[in-house]
Structure 1
Amino acid sequence: MRQVSVHSLTIGDVLGKTIFSSSGRILLGKGVKLTPLFIAKLKDMGLSILYIEDDRFDDVQVEDVIREEHRREAMEFLEKSTRSIQLGKNLNDSGLKNIIRKIVEEILFKKDILVNLMDMRSLDNQLLAHSVNVCVLSTVLGKALLFDREKLETLAIGAILHDFGMLQLDPKLITKTGDRTPDEVELLKTHTTLGFEYLRKRKDLNLAVAHIAFQHHEHLNGTGYPRGLKESEIHPLAQIVGIADLYDKFTSDHSDVERIMPYEACEILMGLAGTLYPLEMIRLFLRNIAAYPTGITVRLNNGEIGVVVDQNLSMPARPIVRVFDESEFGTNTMKEYNMVEKRTIFIQEVLG
C-alpha cells in the first residue's frame, strides 16, 4: 500500500486501511473500491490523507504502534466519557485504567518502536484521536526514558486526559477553523486549569495526572501557560506530554497549527530543545519517530520518484525507498535504495 492525498484519489482506487468514526464504527473498510460518492464523502469528512492498495507495493505494510482494536477501544471510551461528563456524570476510572493497561503492556512488549503511521483523522474525531495519539507518543517516550510500568501507566492516563478541560468549553470554540479572537484564545487556554480542577478531585487517580493537564503547555524558558513556570518547576511528565502534544498537532489535520510533514516537525522540535523542552527528552523522542513514514511518495536528489517501503531503526531519517525506471511509477523494473548504505542518495521532496 502507499499513502496518497485525498485530492489525488481516482475512481477505482482500493482503500488500504479501514477508516473509523470517533465511536469506533467502520465508515469505510479496507478493500473497498472508491466511487465518486465515496471520494466526495472522504473530502467532506475533512480527511487529507489515506492509504490505498497498489500492486507495486503490495508487500508494504504500514504498522501502528498499538493494535487497531486498542486504538478503537480508547476512542470509543473517550467518546462515551465526553457524553457522560457533559451530562454531569463522573469519569469511569476503572474502564480508563483497563484500556491504559492494554496500551502500556503492548508498548512495553515491543522491542523496537518507530512511530510510522500518519493519522487518518476526520473533523468529527479530532479531539479524541489527538488524545489517543498523545497517549501513545508519550508512553513511547516514557519507555525510552526507562520508566517502570506504574509510572508509565500514570503518564499514559495523564496523556490521554491532558485536554480533559476542553470538554467544559463550547465545542464551537474548539472546532473553529478561522482565526480566533484574543478573547477566544485566552478562553481556550483555560482548559488547563479546568482539567486540573476536575482531575485533582478524583481520589483514585494519581495527582500527577491532574498536574499533566495543568502544566502540559508550560515551557522551560517560562513562556508557557497558565503559570509561566520554568525548568524544574514543571512536572517531568507534563514536559513529556507537552512534546507529544506539539508533535501530534504539527502532523495532524484540524489542530490550531498548519499540518506539516513528520520530517519538518522533527526539525522544529530539535530547534526547540533546550529552550522549550529538555534536550534529552527531545533526543529520545526523535529516535522513535520515522521522519519519512512508510508509504509516502518522495522525490530523490537524483530526480527519481519512489515510495518509502521500509525503515532503518538505527537512522530514522534514512529509510528505504523503492523507485521505478519511468517517472511517476512506470511499469519497468523496480529498484530500491537503502539510504543507510547509499549515503549520496537523499530525499529532496515529499510529494502529495
Structure 2
Amino acid sequence: MRQVGIDYVTIGDVLARTIFSSDGKVLLGHGVVLSAGFITRLRDLGITAIYIQDERLADIRVVDLISERTRREAMQALKMTTDMIKNGRQFDGMRMKKSVSSVVEEVASSREVLINLIDIRSKENWLMSHSLSVSVLATVLGMNCGLEQKRLVELAMGAMLHDVGVTALPAGLLAKDEALYDAAEVTKYREHVPEGFNLLRRQLEVPLMSAHVAYQHHENVDGSGYPRGLKGHEIHLYGRIVAVADVYDRLVNKGRKRVLPHEACEILMGLTGRYLDQELVTMFLKSVATYPTGISVRLSTGEIGVVVGQNASLPMRPIVRVLEERRRVIDPKEYNLMKDMTLFITEVLQ
C-alpha cells in the first residue's frame, strides 16, 4: 500500500485502510473500489490523504499501534463521553477507563519500533481521532520515560480526555480558525482548560493526575503558557508529555494545514526550550518515523519511490523502493538509506 493525497486519487483505486466516523462506525472499508462519488465524499469530509493498494507494494503493510477493534471501541467511548457532557450529564468513567487500558496494553505489546502511521480522519471526527492519537503517542513517550503500567493508564486517560473542556465551547468558535480569533475569543477558548479540569476531577473513576493533564497541557516550559504560567518541572511530567503529543498530532493531522512528519519533527525541535520540554522532544523524535512507510519520496538521484521500511536506530534514513526513474516506470529496486549514505531524500510527494 501507499499513501496518496486526495487530489491524486483516481477512479478505480482500491482503499487500503478503513476510514471511521466519530462514533467508530465504518465510513469506507478497506478493499472498496473508489468511484467518483466516493472520492467526492472523502473530499467533502475534509480527508486530505488516504492509503491505497498498489500491486508493486503488495508486501508492504502499514501497521497501527492499536487494532481496528480497539480504535473503534475507544472512538465510541469518546463519542458517548462528549455527548453526555454536552447534555450536562456525568459520563461513564468506567467504560472510558476500560478503553484506555486496552489502548495501553496494545501499545505496550506492539512490536512496532516506530510510530509509523499518518492517521486518516474527517472534519467530523477530528476531535475524537485527535484525542485517541494523543493518547497513543503519549503512551509511547511515557513508556520511553520508564513509567509503569498504572502510571501509563493515568497518563493515557488524561491524554484521551485532555481536550474534553472543548465540548463546552460554542460550536461557532470551534469552527473558526484559531489564528483568526480576536482577544475576546482567545479568552473564551482558553476557558476549555479549567472547564475540562473541573469536569474530570468530579469523576470518581478519573484519577486526579489524569485531570491535571487537561489543566496543564497548554503550559509552556518557559512560563508563557496558560492558565497558570507554570515553568519547566513545575509542569507535571504528564502535562509535558501530552503537550509534545498534542502539538505533533495537530501538526501532522490538522486538515489542509497539516505538515508532513519530517516537517513536524523540525518544528518540534524549534519549539524546545520555549514551549516544549527538550529532553522529551528528543526522546519522542527517536520514536517517530520521520518518513512513514507508504509515503512517496524523491531521492537525490531524481528517482521516485515509496518508503517500505524503517531503521529504528536512524529514523531519518528509511528503506525506499524505487518505482520511477527519469519519468519512466522501472522494475522496482530498493535502497537502504542507512547503508547507501550517499543517497538522501530531497522531497516528499503527494
TM-score with structure 1 setting the length:
0.96
| Alpha-carbon distance in structure 1 between the residues aligned to 2:319 and 2:232 | 39
Q: Do the aligned residues in 2 keep the contact of 1:121 with 1:253 (CA within 8 Å)?
A: no
One-letter code aligned to 2:91? L
Moved more, 31-40 or 174-183: 174-183
One-letter code aligned to 1:20? F
Q: Do the aligned residues in 1 keep the contact of 2:94 with 2:205 (CA within 8 Å)?
A: no
Corresponding residue SS for 2:253? coil
One-letter code aligned to 1:15? L
2:321 equivalent in structure 1: 322
What percent of counterpart residues are identical? 46
Cα deviation for residue 290 of structure 1 reads: 0.5
2:348 equivalent in structure 1: 350
- Matches for 1:226-237 after TM superposition, within 5 Å: 226-237=227-238
| Alpha-carbon distance in structure 2 between the residues aligned to 1:337 and 1:204 | 50
Structure 2: runs of 5+ lacking an equivalent: none
| Alpha-carbon distance in structure 2 between the residues aligned to 1:329 and 1:80 | 51
| Alpha-carbon distance in structure 1 between the residues aligned to 2:120 and 2:176 | 20
Corresponding residue SS for 2:41? helix
One-letter code aligned to 1:154? E
Q: Do the aligned residues in 2 keep the contact of 1:308 with 1:320 (CA within 8 Å)?
A: yes
Q: Do the aligned residues in 1 keep the contact of 2:216 with 2:239 (CA within 8 Å)?
A: yes
1:169 paired to 2:169: yes
> Are the structure 2 counterparts of residues 34 and 156 from structure 1 closer, same or farther at C-alpha, using a change threshold of 3 Å?
same
| Alpha-carbon distance in structure 2 between the residues aligned to 1:266 and 1:12 | 34
| Alpha-carbon distance in structure 1 between the residues aligned to 2:312 and 2:65 | 14
Give a deviation string over 1:28-75, Cα, whole Å, max 9, x none: 111111111111111101000001111111111111111111111111
2:280 equivalent in structure 1: 281
1:94 equivalent in structure 2: 94
Q: Do the aligned residues in 2 keep the contact of 1:294 with 1:309 (CA within 8 Å)?
A: yes
| Alpha-carbon distance in structure 1 between the residues aligned to 2:79 and 2:324 | 48
2:186 equivalent in structure 1: 185
- Matches for 1:147-158 after TM superposition, within 5 Å: 147-158=147-158
1:334 equivalent in structure 2: 332
1:40 equivalent in structure 2: 40
Moved more, 238-247 or 224-233: 224-233
> Are the structure 2 counterparts of residues 273 and 88 from structure 1 closer, same or farther at C-alpha, using a change threshold of 3 Å?
same
> Are the structure 2 counterparts of residues 229 and 122 from structure 1 closer, same or farther at C-alpha, using a change threshold of 3 Å?
same
2:59 equivalent in structure 1: 59
Q: Do the aligned residues in 2 keep the contact of 1:299 with 1:349 (CA within 8 Å)?
A: yes
| Alpha-carbon distance in structure 1 between the residues aligned to 2:13 and 2:110 | 33
Cα deviation for residue 327 of structure 1 reads: 4.3
Cα deviation for residue 304 of structure 1 reads: 0.6
Q: Do the aligned residues in 2 keep the contact of 1:13 with 1:33 (CA within 8 Å)?
A: yes
1:267 paired to 2:266: yes
Cα deviation for residue 329 of structure 1 reads: 6.5
Moved more, 305-314 or 320-329: 320-329
Cα RMSD of the aligned pairs, angstroms, is 1.4
| Alpha-carbon distance in structure 1 between the residues aligned to 2:72 and 2:161 | 16
Moved more, 238-247 or 26-35: 26-35
Cα deviation for residue 197 of structure 1 reads: 1.4
2:74 equivalent in structure 1: 74
Q: Do the aligned residues in 2 keep the contact of 1:48 with 1:253 (CA within 8 Å)?
A: no
Q: Do the aligned residues in 1 keep the contact of 2:3 with 2:49 (CA within 8 Å)?
A: yes
1:249 equivalent in structure 2: 250
Cα deviation for residue 145 of structure 1 reads: 0.6
Q: Do the aligned residues in 2 keep the contact of 1:169 with 1:188 (CA within 8 Å)?
A: yes
2:312 equivalent in structure 1: 313
Q: Do the aligned residues in 1 keep the contact of 2:302 with 2:325 (CA within 8 Å)?
A: no
| Alpha-carbon distance in structure 1 between the residues aligned to 2:68 and 2:157 | 19
| Alpha-carbon distance in structure 1 between the residues aligned to 2:127 and 2:54 | 31
One-letter code aligned to 2:6? V
2:225 equivalent in structure 1: 224
Q: Do the aligned residues in 1 keep the contact of 2:304 with 2:324 (CA within 8 Å)?
A: no
One-letter code aligned to 1:283? T
